[in-house]
Homo-oligomer: A and B are copies of this chain.
């Protein structure tokens, strides 16, 4: 019944790729149609509108982030370990689905007014949970007493190049990359330890 046709999946995939390359506003339905070898009008046999494409990509990715955050907070109680797992998840998702990650991160502002409100609300929820982890880490004396908002934004923003730049990282380097990102975020890039 509610089976997702292969063609529909293909449309979403190509739409995400085009949204990443040119941005939502600069991507025409004609361009999407061309990418999936259809005429423009034929697209509407599969999707309702251009904005539906954007909505699906944004909220599906948002759901993945929310689910991951919840799972991580359930599974571990050490806040530093939780942070590590969050960075792990961001990295894996960015490498596995960079186009969706970019659309999620950059193009959500082109959603309709009510969808934007819903989206921002989800993101605020996510950030709130992130901040709580930092609070716990600081209370436990594990994390430096730096302003938590600045820590959070720097960590999240510092991972954005993974999907924004088109540097493809081979799968066998993925764990090396994650270890490097963890080292940088947790211990910085300076060798000497006199802080």
* Residues in chain A within 8 A of chain B (CB atoms): 21-26, 80, 106, 109-110, 141-144, 146-147, 149-151, 153-161, 164-165, 167, 177, 180-181, 183-193, 195
Question: What is the CA–CA distance of A151 and B177 in the complex, to the nearest angstrom?
Answer: 10
Contacts of A151 in B (CB 8 A): 184, 189
Q: A164-B157, A195-B193 are in contact. Are A22 and B187 (CB under 8 A)?
A: no
Looking at A158, A183, A189, A191, the one whose CB has the most chain B CB atoms below 10 A away is A189
Q: Quick one: copies of this chain in the complex?
A: 2
Contacts of A26 in B (CB 8 A): 24-25, 110
Q: Is the CB of B193 within 8 A of A189?
A: no
Q: Is the CB of B192 within 8 A of A142?
A: yes
Q: Is the CB of B161 within 8 A of A157?
A: yes
Question: What is the CA–CA distance of A191 and B177 in the complex, to the nearest angstrom?
Answer: 23
Closest Cβ–Cβ distance, residue A29 to chain B (whole Å): 14
Q: Nearest chain-B residue to A149 (Cβ)?
A: B167
